[in-house]
């Protein structure tokens, strides 16, 4: 039972990659390579340094955008959760941002900020920040009133209640929102490279498709998915470590 979650993940990966290999061998499309062909292309690009050079470009807007989203997203979320007026004023904006097709805003960002790093950071932010803000606000808003009343009964000030009761109680959900926001940030980073200027991993995907090098294209797509999964698993482990006893578990456990 100790390794049940790990074995289930391994089994899921084996089934997925096996289906990928079979679909490529049939083939379902001339543009659909086998799993082993894609992995061969991945090893080749990693060996000649192409993939690592691409990630230097891809991770720049991702890291900057996620950092901005985390700081401002958690701050805004706390404010929205603590203030009914602020909630009424700003919550609808982030609800619309989360549900709207934000890719349609990319041409407007390009017109306003050009095709450089700024536009790509904005794309990451508009993908990641709504998730972080809404999860933080929900966590703060749903802090049990009984523990807040207990703090007041011990003559705690409003600042002490926020810092010592509300934020610690809401931290597990805030961290979960941060994890989901980073996941959305990965999507935003690749979307920006595909829609604004083909740089980094987006450049590999675009160029490989243009010359019909489909194994390289699928290898690049697989690499960004693999990086996101590994990073989110690390955050999941960190969350379990920091909030042991407060984390209710994951579907994979």
Dump pLDDT digits (tens) for 82-126.
Answer: 888 888 888 888 888 777 777 777 778 887 777 778 888 888 888
Q: Domain ranges in the chain? A: 38-242
Residue-level pLDDT at 3: 65
Query: Which has more pLDDT, 219 or 105?
Result: 219
Q: Is the pLDDT of residue 250 over 70?
A: no
- Output helix, strand, coil percentages for the chain, rounded to the nearest 5: 80, 0, 20
Residue-level pLDDT at 249: 44
Q: Is the pLDDT of residue 179 over 80?
A: yes
Report the C-alpha gap between 42 and 206 in whole angstroms.
16
Report the C-alpha gap between 213 and 206 in whole angstroms.
10
Cβ-contact 113, 192 below 8 angstroms: no
Residue-level pLDDT at 217: 92
Of 175-179, 229-233, 234-238, 247-251, the poorest mean pLDDT is in: 247-251
Q: Is the pLDDT of residue 252 over 50?
A: no
Q: For domain 38-242, say whether CATH 1.10.760.10 is its number.
A: no
* Number of other CB atoms surrounding residue 180 within 10 Å: 17
Residue-level pLDDT at 244: 65
The arithmetic mean of pLDDT across residues 1-23, rounded, is 81
The arithmetic mean of pLDDT across residues 241-251, rounded, is 56
Residue-level pLDDT at 253: 43
Render pLDDT for 20-76 as a digit per residue (tens, 0 to 9): 899 888 888 888 899 999 999 999 998 888 888 888 888 888 899 999 999 998 989
List Cα–Cα distances, 155 to 82, 83, 163, 165, 245, in angstroms. 19, 21, 14, 13, 28
Collapsing DSSP to helix, strand or coil, 65 comes out as helix
The pLDDT confidence band at residue 246, using thresholds 50, 70 and 90, is: low
Q: Is the pLDDT of residue 2 over 60?
A: no
Q: Which class for 7: exposed (0-12), middle (13-18), buried (19 or more C-beta within 10 A)?
A: exposed
């Amino acid at each position: 039972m100790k390794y049940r979650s790990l074995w289930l993940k391994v089994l899921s990966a084996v089934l997925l990659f096996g289906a990928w290999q079979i679909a490529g061998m049939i083939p379902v499309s001339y543009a659909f390579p086998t799993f082993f062909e894609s992995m061969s292309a991945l090893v080749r690009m990693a060996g000649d340094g192409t993939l690592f050079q691409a990630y230097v470009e891809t991770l720049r807007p991702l890291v900057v955008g996620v950092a901005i989203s985390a700081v401002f997203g958690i701050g805004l979320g706390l404010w929205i959760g603590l203030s009914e007026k602020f909630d009424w004023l700003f919550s609808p904006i982030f609800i619309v941002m989360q549900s709207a097709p934000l890719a349609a805003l990319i041409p407007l960002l390009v017109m306003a900020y050009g095709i450089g790093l700024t536009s790509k950071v904005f794309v990451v932010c508009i993908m990641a920040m709504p998730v972080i803000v809404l999860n933080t606000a929900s966590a703060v808003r749903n802090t049990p009133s009984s523990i807040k009343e207990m703090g007041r009964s011990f003559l705690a000030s409003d600042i002490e209640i926020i810092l010592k009761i509300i934020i610690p109680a809401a931290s597990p959900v805030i961290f979960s929102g941060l994890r989901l926001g980073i996941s959305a940030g990965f999507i935003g980073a690749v979307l920006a490279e595909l829609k604004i200027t083909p740089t980094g991993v987006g450049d590999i995907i675009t160029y490989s498709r243009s010359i019909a090098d489909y194994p390289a294209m699928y290898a690049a797509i697989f690499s960004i998915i693999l990086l996101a999964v590994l990073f989110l698993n690390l955050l999941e482990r960190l969350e379990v470590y920091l909030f042991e006893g407060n984390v209710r578990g994951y579907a994979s456990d």
